[in-house]
Structure formats: structure tokens, C-alpha cells
Homo-oligomer: A and B are copies of this chain.
Amino acid sequence: MKVIRIGILIFLCFWKISIFHLQAQELPKPNPAQLAWQNAELGIIFHYDLHVFDGLAYKQSKNRITPIPDIKIFNPSKLDVEQWVISAKEAGAKFALITATHETGFALYPSKANPYNTLALGWKNGKEDLLGDFIKACHKHGLKPGVYIGIRWNSYLGVHDFVVDGEGEMQLQRQRYYNNMVEEMVKEICTWYGPLFEIWFDGGASHPEKGAPDVLPIVKKYQPECLFYHNDQLAEARWGGSESGTVNYPCWSNFPFHFTGSGESAPREIWKDGYKLLKTGDPNGKYFMPAMADAPLRGDNGRHEWFWEPNDEHSIYSLDKLVDIYHKSVGRNATLVLGVTPDTAGLVPHSDRKRMQEFGQHISNMYREPIVTSNQSKNQLTFKKQHPVKHIMLREDISEGQKIRSFRIQEQSNGKWTDIYQGSSIGNKHLIILENPVPTKVLRIIIDHAVGKPKLLTFNAYENLQNNP
């Protein structure tokens, strides 16, 4: 009881200090899209574009400025976007995204606004609308659909960092055309396929005042429930500062700006020190902007491939590395988005899918059965017998903002409480791996510091069961 009283005392102390930085009523809160996006935890993004079929190694810097000579190479023999969605579900994803357009500018759906699309392939098999079919498959399999729209680069029309290449009146007219085309595409994507979970503008969609397409009002008008990621006017999530699939610990959902910059125009505060601010956020930031940790599944052994290439299976992350990535993203209050790339058959390759299945199964097994189910009103776990606790899962209610700023986990032995973990951020989820599990019967969490009145949603402990299937 004494320890608890001290804990409460410390809590109150820090609470008073904390309001010095941020009043509880000023605490940034997620909108419903952000809350759902954090809760979803894991998404898969499918990259698919013309150059998958060119038989060449993908070099982004060259690809961005080099049109594909012949779009007819895009000829997937067994195209089945439902198989993509199923593979995402098997990986445990709650949402999935598809590149409606990437840097070639080629649209994977029969856009009326952008003639450079699948209709130009002249298929007669009814599979021209990869985007529409993908979204249908998401609904069928209970995943939330998202769309990636690449507007920063367009090798076909000659767009470099949002700017149409050229000069004089032709450049002005073609920029106007391009901006209008993009806006119409965004409108199509927002109005043709029902509610979307996330719209992802690659590299940010810049700002209409900088001459870029004016996409924010369109998304807000037609998809008010959709997460907007992102342009210079708004970012409802932020890039986590690397494509490693991980963020720092702590990683706060708060951020000092309402945007993170687009393309080559991000503010210095954001990119200095290796994008540290993106990786950690700022507990006192005035804007709710949770972090995305993204990585391609084919990111191992010195490779980093968002797009399929032949004979590249060795670049698929090992299961161990994927699990580690998961703990350093989802387990650190970020949303993990893994990149998967279908092959020239139009399917997620067997080896990739197998790894996704293993990963989904592994995480599911690992966190399926806590030693005991905590009651939301209690901050203490009491087991029937001693268990060597390997993993702890913490979740706080972030619907009114991320409140907890520091906490400790203690275990009781012989009537004495001992700290076994000290942490700061919890947020949507914090996963703790105890490297040297000590058998214990009672655990508790002490929240030393919070803004406002925090509410713990989950306090679960697990033995290391996944090694004993």
C-alpha cells in the first residue's frame, strides 16, 4: 500500500508538471479515421506497375524519369487481386492498400480522367479495374481498403516532384492539365468505390499554393471518414522516418506540426538528425499524427524492393526479422504497413505468401492467450501460479488522446514490489519483451506521469508460447 501511495504521489507530481507543458484540455485527440487506423495496427500495401514486367532491375531514380516503352508488357497471366487480399488477411492485416498509380503514371483502373490506364491495354477479360476488384475483395474478406496515389512523379507525362517538366506557356498549360487530371482522378477514386480507409499520397501531395493539385478538399468532401496521408496542408498520419518498418521508442502520436512536408520541401526540423522527429514524435506536440512504420517485405539481405523482380526471393524478410519489426512498430504505438509486390503472373508469389502466413500465424499465436485476462478497472495481474512472463501487452485508450507519459511494471516477490520495466509511451499498443523472464505470480503497472486522466485498456502478460506450439 505504501508503494501504491508513493506511486500516486509521484503520479500527481508528474501530472502537475505535465500540465505545465500541455493542459489536458489541449491534448490532441484522434479523429475517428486516425483512431481506426491506429487500432488497425497492420496493413499491407501492394505495389504494382508496368515495370514489374520489364525483366529489368527496378531503379527508382531512373524509373521516375523514363517512360516504359511498351505498356503491353503489362500482361499478368493469372491476375487475381482477391488472392492479394487473402494473403494480406493471412498476414494479419486489418487493411490493405493498392497503388492506383505509381511513378510511371499508369492507372490500374479505367480512369476517365487519366487515359494512361488499363483500358489502353485492350483487354477483353473484364479485369481492367484492378482497383475496383481489389476494393471488392477487401470487403469480401473483411479488410478495410485503402488507395495509394502517386502524383509526385509521372515519367510518362514528365512530372518531376509535382512539376511538369518544360517551360513557357506549354508548361503552364500542361501543369494545369496535370493538376486537373490528378484532381479528377482523386474524385473518381473517392466516389466510385465506396468508403476508403486511407488515401496515401506518395511523398505527400504538396500544396496548391505551390502549384500542385488541390486534393485535400476533394478527399474531405467525398471521403470525410478516410485517413488523409498527406500533403502540406494536412497529415493525419506521418511517415515514421525510415522504410525499416520500425520507429523509435518512445514513439508518440503527437507532433508539433499539422503536416510533415512533401517531396523535397519538408521543413528542416523534420528531416534533421535522420528524421528523428518523425521516428519519435513529440509528447507535447499539438497535433495528433500517429506514425506509420513501412517496409517492403522484400527488404532483407541488402535488398529493399517494393516491386517484384525475378529471383529475388532471398530478399524476403525472415520470420524472426518480421516479428522483430512488428514489435518495433505495432509494439511501439505505430501502424505497420508492409509492402508486398505481386509478380508477373498477377499473384503474390508463393514464397512471399508463405512468409506472410507464417508471420500472421506467429503473431496470432504469440498474443492469443494471456496468462490471465486483466480487468480494465485493475492495474494488477494475479496469476494462479508462477509464470515466467516473457511478453507484456499494454494498450491505453487513445480516443481522447495519448495521455500516459511514463509508467513502470513491477512484480511482487515475497511481498516486495520490484520494477521489472520502465517505459514512457504506451499509446494504442506497447509490447514489452522481457529478455530474462523471472517466474512471478503478481504484476502491476504504475502510471507515474500522464496528461489528464489516463485509461488503460489492456494489461496482459504472456509466456513465450510460440516456441512451444
36-90 of chain A: CB within 8 A of chain B = 65-67, 69-72
**CB-defined contacts of A174 to chain B, threshold 8 Å:** 65-67, 155, 158, 165
**CB-defined contacts of A408 to chain B, threshold 8 Å:** none
**CB-defined contacts of A422 to chain B, threshold 8 Å:** none
Q: Which residue of B lies closest to A106 (CB)?
A: B115
Assembly CA distance A11 to B117 (angstroms): 68
**Shortest distance in angstroms between A25's beta carbon and chain B's nearest beta carbon?**
47
**Shortest distance in angstroms between A165's beta carbon and chain B's nearest beta carbon?**
3
Pair A119/B116 contact, Cβ less than 8 Å: no
Q: Is A160 an interface residue (CB 8 A)?
A: yes
Q: Is A221 an interface residue (CB 8 A)?
A: no
Q: Which residue of B lies closest to A170 (CB)?
A: B65
Q: Is A164 an interface residue (CB 8 A)?
A: yes
Q: Is A209 an interface residue (CB 8 A)?
A: no
98-157 of chain A: CB within 8 A of chain B = 110, 112-113, 115-117, 119-122, 155-157
Assembly CA distance A167 to B160 (angstroms): 11
When all copies of this chain in the complex are counted, the total is: 2
Pair B65/A169 contact, Cβ less than 8 Å: yes
Could you show 24 A-B contacts with beta carbons less than 8 Å apart?
A: A65-B169, A65-B170, A65-B173, A65-B174, A66-B174, A66-B177, A67-B177, A69-B177, A69-B181, A70-B113, A71-B112, A72-B112, A110-B122, A112-B122, A115-B117, A116-B116, A117-B120, A120-B120, A155-B170, A155-B173, A157-B157, A158-B171, A158-B174, A165-B171
**CB-defined contacts of A115 to chain B, threshold 8 Å:** 71, 115-117, 120
Pair B164/A158 contact, Cβ less than 8 Å: yes
Q: Is A180 an interface residue (CB 8 A)?
A: yes
**Shortest distance in angstroms between A1's beta carbon and chain B's nearest beta carbon?**
71
Q: Is A166 an interface residue (CB 8 A)?
A: yes
**CB-defined contacts of A171 to chain B, threshold 8 Å:** 158, 165
